[in-house]
Chain A
């Protein structure tokens, strides 16, 4: 199994996420309109757009935090249908980092990290602890292992949240505005971890407005508005030669400062 994993990392041509004609409604409100998106293994994608444009909703569909009503979504060859087994299989492959960290406040950092490996992957406690410490070292806070989330700064909490997802050895990482709730001085430490992760070949979908991150890390930048994908391109073309007036307007708004 391990060799399979190694081989697949180098195979950049494999489609790991395929979304076709995805449509979603909240009641009568049409939030996602004909989303078509194919993500290759190892690809880094940044999604941006105004609030309410459906970018978070789109990535939340990928691990079924949101249901959709029409279209199809396949993750690593498993089709997302209304079946607990498929949902579980997909969630095993997909890690997610949230805007508000969503650490479990009643558990220590180490317990936050080992919960998944012990109870979902059924690993022995010692092994789970070793994995957790490995990832805590990677996000550079192994000394906080026995503290509670409330005792950590926002940036540290978000790094713990990233480590918690990595402990489940996911194929894909989803980031839902991971730096929007952070103080300016803490954004960098989180972005550094994300850049490192990208360098290692992780498949990543990031909803973010950190345009510097998009320029340096992304293979593709996607712009959404009104529940649809308006434009997608390589970062260079995306920022320097936007094709639509809507993206032009958006870029002029956010890059003015």
Chain B
């Protein structure tokens, strides 16, 4: 008997009832009596709230003008935000020197963009040094003294740009620190291990508000007479230490996700401890930790508003100041706080999107 030839069956499209918009509605919104009730309740709730909200936000809102008197309609007084926009974004930084702040933000964007578009063999060599240099380049520009520019005291730095730059500068420096602490925590050397554990547990177990107070009020008491350390610098160091502790814990969970076989394979080809750490373990730890790293960054970014308690003029402090300004006593708190919330939400949401795309980029499809 001749042997039969095996012909694979061709693939067929999925039945229409499981795809398409109708199926989606049925599966996601109206799949059970409970879901039908929930969907209807939510829809009617939206129907009650949305028209009034849209009217207040957009239709009856006051968009043009420069003073409080321009706010004649019932809606939101966006004139308030407009009039204070420079303060909100740049603090009291001199108007003629704003390009320096813009340059720093631009450099930050460039470095982030670079780390995406560079080919893989250049990425580590260029992007990592660029990231590490960035905070110091920004310091030089914002301060200006050493570049022959007009000196701007840190008291004048502020606004939302300060929130962004301070958070970014903190996470960049906290990255290597956190990694070293995480390595230390896993180390067999008792000294390295105990130092790391103490640092991590202290900064992770202390509320960031308490740390800010300590930094601004307590720390100067320990300095020798005549020595002053800039308040913003102290805040920066505290943020770095606070963030390093969180990053160390993020990296620790990343380390635990690396299979033992990776260490064994690296050992078996004779790589030393640091070679193994940097070529084999570090890249994989970064990859699995990416969502948590971004989450930690978002947390610290939002925590920068706490700086208002020690009178650093970040965005919320500027708004509070504007609300008590004698020319704007018309009660614009809702607009002000809504605006701050919206700005933070927009930034954090785009960072989440960024994190998703980084995860996709790093995924070389080898899930076991």
Are A91 and B268 closer than 8 Å at their CB atoms? Answer: yes
The complex places the Cα of A105 from the Cα of B257 at a distance, in Å, of 13
Are B261 and A100 closer than 8 Å at their CB atoms? Answer: yes
Are B265 and A168 closer than 8 Å at their CB atoms? Answer: no
The complex places the Cα of A119 from the Cα of B276 at a distance, in Å, of 10
Are B270 and A91 closer than 8 Å at their CB atoms? Answer: yes
Are A91 and B267 closer than 8 Å at their CB atoms? Answer: yes
| B366 on interface, CB distance cutoff 8 Å | yes
Are A98 and B365 closer than 8 Å at their CB atoms? Answer: no
Are B280 and A116 closer than 8 Å at their CB atoms? Answer: no
Residues on A with C-beta less than 8 A from B201 are: none
Are B270 and A150 closer than 8 Å at their CB atoms? Answer: no
Are B366 and A105 closer than 8 Å at their CB atoms? Answer: yes
Chain A CB within 10 Å, residue with most, of B269, B271, B365: B269
Are B265 and A119 closer than 8 Å at their CB atoms? Answer: no
Are A95 and B268 closer than 8 Å at their CB atoms? Answer: yes
- Contact for A65 among B267, B272, B280, CB less than 8 A: B267
The complex places the Cα of A3 from the Cα of B365 at a distance, in Å, of 45
Are A106 and B271 closer than 8 Å at their CB atoms? Answer: no
Are B270 and A120 closer than 8 Å at their CB atoms? Answer: yes
Are A151 and B279 closer than 8 Å at their CB atoms? Answer: no
Are A103 and B265 closer than 8 Å at their CB atoms? Answer: yes
The complex places the Cα of A165 from the Cα of B279 at a distance, in Å, of 17
Size range of the chain B interface in the assembly: 20 to 34
Residues on B with C-beta less than 8 A from A164 are: 269
Give A65-107 as 1s and 0s: 1 = Cβ < 8 Å from B's Cβ atoms. Answer: 1000000000000000000000010011011101010111110
The complex places the Cα of A98 from the Cα of B362 at a distance, in Å, of 25
Given A65-B264, A100-B261, is A106 in contact with B283 using a C-beta cutoff of 8 Å?
Answer: yes
Residues on A with C-beta less than 8 A from B275 are: 119-120
Residues on B with C-beta less than 8 A from A161 are: 265
Are B271 and A120 closer than 8 Å at their CB atoms? Answer: yes
Are A149 and B366 closer than 8 Å at their CB atoms? Answer: yes
Give A47-63 as 1s and 0s: 1 = Cβ < 8 Å from B's Cβ atoms. Answer: 00000000000000001
Which residues between 246 and 288 of chain B lie within 8 Å of chain A, taking CB atoms? 259, 261-262, 264-272, 275, 279-280, 283-284, 287
Residues on A with C-beta less than 8 A from B265 are: 96, 98, 102-104, 161
- Contact for A168 among B266, B269, B272, B284, CB less than 8 A: B269
14 pairs across A/B with beta carbons < 8 Å? A64-B267, A91-B267, A91-B270, A94-B268, A95-B269, A115-B269, A115-B271, A116-B269, A120-B275, A149-B366, A150-B365, A150-B366, A151-B365, A165-B269
B residues touching A (Cβ–Cβ < 8 Å)?
Answer: 259, 261-262, 264-272, 275, 279-280, 283-284, 287, 362, 364-367
